[in-house]
Amino acid sequence: MDQTLIDILWVALCASLVFLMQAGFLCLETGLTRSKNNINVAIKNISDLGIAVFVFWMIGYTLMFGTSTLGVIGMIAEEPAKGGMKLLIFFLFQSMFCSTAVTIISGAVAERMRFVIYLLLSLFISVCIYPVFGHWAWNGSIESVSSGWLRSRGFVDFAGSTVVHSVGGWAALAAIIVIGQRTGRFTPEGEPKKIPASNVPLAILGTLLLWFGWFGFNGGGTLAMNDQVPLIIVNTLLAGTGGIVTALGLGWLVVKYIDVELIINGCLSGLVAVTASAPFVTPGWAIVIGALGSIVMLGCQQLLLHYQIDDAIGVVPVHAGAGIWGTLSVAFFGDSALLGTGLNSWEQLKIQILGIAVCFIWSFGGTYYFLKLIKLFVPLRVTPEEEHIGLNVAEHRAKTELLDVLQAMEYQAKSQDFTKRLPVEPFTTVGVIAERYNQVISSLQKAEKTLVSKNTEMEEDLDLAKQFQQSLLPYFPEVSFLSFDYRYLPFHNGVSGDMYDISLNPDGAINIFLGDATGHGISAAFMTMIVQSKLDSMPESMSTSEVLGEINALLASKNIGNKFITGVFLRITPEGNMSLSHAAHPPAIIVPADETDAILFKKQGGLPLGAFEDDLIPYMESTYQLQKGDKIFLYTDGITEWSNPQKRMFGIERLKRVLEKNRHTDLGFALTDVFASLKDYSQGTGCHDDATILGFEFQG
């Protein structure tokens, strides 16, 4: 077979492999982005291919490979159709490169750029950025004449580490800086938040397709089937493996686990890096180039996160970062005899750096100001609402059965209207889930009706219990030597675990008991009723400590759900003799009328009532002689344990100060002031326990 025909067939095959890379980019980008945007990403990939090839045919090819004017721009080019098979295949191959440079940008700006803006950007890159820089670096390659100004100075980029990948990478960086982050990508503190990929296996398939297509991407750069091709393909394979192995190691060292996206980007970074030097380096150096490309990629990725720049799939680190390294590696590892530039390593490095810098200025700067100009007239990104629902729907009205189900569920969540059922698509996974969900909602509605009925009955029972408990609260007997008032606030539906009892002895003494049962609600109220019935049958001759002992024995024998009561029993005679016994209850507070400090009055000893059948620690009795105007306050721990938003309790000392402040006010005002102080202290957080306080004033 004629060698020319073999060359043409080889380049045609390579062009087809590069075309296949479009499918690889599509799988990679849709797999690494969210499913609500995957249709939008896919449409971008096929649309930018059409735009890039069309524009490259119309004008890009001439600008890039036309007769050079001062090495800056092509003006006239022979029409490929008139140049024979070789020129046609060359156009085909180069048009695939143009489409690759454009489609690179798609992944970086995914999930927030408006579709029409992306099309304008694709048109701009295809007609201006790529062909102009391509002219500087590659013009003359078809005639083997160095006419582009960078090429004529010795700049070498065999298959496009800079010309294709860095051009796309720098343009992507400019775009993501101008359009900004995706909503929720970073916390208010600047910490990055992982946005989950929708289909990682698909992304890995895309990586393998790209790797396979890269054999044509690099192998076709010879424009002929010659003895360089095997080395190029082997180096391409080895550079990709070097990137993967390094990414595996970096995963263990840096993030302590195998990060799938790191492996994907490590492979692609190795491939991008070797693209500039594939025919000029040995296989060993190809592995080194690929490995170092992976490291450069990770460094660039961390840099972007540090500056809160949101690259959706890692385009900039892979294509711009690894592209820079690959272009520099030509000078570091390339065989000068194969390069054919006549430059030594240092001179080659300088021209490689110049090419990288010019690419950055032209691609980044041009794209940045182009988008800034467009932004003056139209918004570049979708609205927050459109970003939330996804670009599949917002940009293309491409609804899916999953989206319909999610929207119906969101309606139920917001409206709490569970009469609406999810749409069921028969014979699909989503349809089965929707059908089962509808069955669950139907069951919940039935259960809700039953629960509402039971709750109604419970509310009626609670109301009845509240009325019954309040009917048991005693009236204070009319005596001349003691005045009385109280305040209480139940925690649970008006049914309280706090209770008090007041009775009058035949000798004129007043008996007062205040108790606080563990827990809240009906069970606690039931215990207090048992205590109250026991108090009514107590002999008047019993001391206060003996009364508590009898109550303890009764409750312990009942063993009501392992509950107990703290309590205080107080007896005051007409002469002002006060005796008092505690059962693990907060101390009584005596506020003397003579301006002295309030007294915490409590004799140590005594366990909670009902905790133990035997008196392990006997209940003790304390006495005190009251003077005219002295006030006595009994209270439950719901008062002192009332908390503020910082979880600090009100405490006994604050209660003492409030009561001392009301030393000369009437009891009702003093008790009202206590609850006002509690509410101010808690800043509206409310009580978390039954709260009761009793006040007495000795009249003398």
Q: What digits encode the pLDDT tens for the residues 625-664?
A: 999 999 999 999 989 999 888 888 999 999 999 999 999 9
Confidence tier at 697 by pLDDT (50, 70, 90): very high
Given CA atoms 618, 621, 622, 628 in this order, what sign does their dihedral have?
positive
pLDDT score, position 452? 66
Residue 340, by phi and psi: left (phi above 0), alpha (psi -120 to 50) or beta?
left
Query: Which of 111-125, 457-471, 485-499 has the largest mean confidence?
Result: 111-125
Confidence tier at 110 by pLDDT (50, 70, 90): very high
- Sheet of 565-572: strand order equals 498-504, 510-517, 565-572, 577-583, 622-625
The structure tokens 């990414």 sit at: 247
Residue 528 has pLDDT above 70, yes or no: no
Q: What digits encode the pLDDT tens for the residues 219-256?
A: 999 999 999 999 999 999 999 999 999 999 988 887 77
pLDDT score, position 683? 83
Residue 157 has pLDDT above 70, yes or no: yes
Share of the chain above pLDDT 70, in %: 90
User: What b/e readout covers 167-193, taking b as 16+ CB neighbours within 10 angstroms?
Assistant: bbbbbbbbbbbbbeebeebbeeeeeee
Contact 484, 502 (CB under 8 A): yes
359 contacts: CB under 8 Å, gap ≥ 6? 133, 162, 163, 166, 167, 170
3-state secondary structure of 259: coil
Q: Name the token pair of 681.
A: 């202290």
State the Cα–Cα distance between residues 262 and 252, nearest whole angstrom: 11
Q: What digits encode the pLDDT tens for the residues 15-46?
A: 999 999 999 999 999 999 998 999 999 999 99
> Rg for the chain (alpha carbons), in Å?
43
pLDDT score, position 595? 82
Query: Which of 167, 99, 157 is closest to 133 using CA atoms?
Result: 167
pLDDT score, position 332? 97
Share of the chain above pLDDT 90, in %: 62
Q: Name the token pair of 141.
A: 């390659």
Q: Which amino acid is at 481?
A: F
Q: Which amino acid is at 389?
A: I
Confidence tier at 560 by pLDDT (50, 70, 90): low
3-state secondary structure of 565: strand
Question: Which of 77-81, 294-298, 398-402, 524-528 has the least mean pLDDT?
Answer: 524-528
The alpha carbon of 484 is separated from its chain's Cα centroid by a whole number of angstroms, namely: 58
pLDDT score, position 469? 47
Residue 468 has pLDDT above 50, yes or no: no
Q: In whole angstroms, how far apart are CA 470 and each of 385, 495, 501, 525, 639?
A: 55, 9, 12, 10, 20
Burial of residue 248, with CB atoms counted within 10 A of its CB: 0-12 exposed, 13-18 middle, 19 or more buried? middle
Q: Please state the φ and ψ torsions of residue 590, each to the nearest 5 degrees.
A: -105, 125
Averaged confidence pLDDT in the chain: 88
Average pLDDT over residues 122-138: 97
Q: What digits encode the pLDDT tens for the residues 660-686?
A: 999 999 999 999 999 999 998 988 776
Q: Which amino acid is at 58?
A: M
Residue 551 has pLDDT above 90, yes or no: no
Query: Which of 316, 309, 42 is closest to 198 using CA atoms?
Result: 42
Query: Which of 86-100, 479-493, 601-615 has the largest mean confidence?
Result: 86-100
Contact 671, 678 (CB under 8 A): no
Beta strands in 45-175 (DSSP E): 68-69, 73-74
State the Cα–Cα distance between residues 28 and 52, nearest whole angstrom: 20
Average pLDDT over residues 154-173: 97
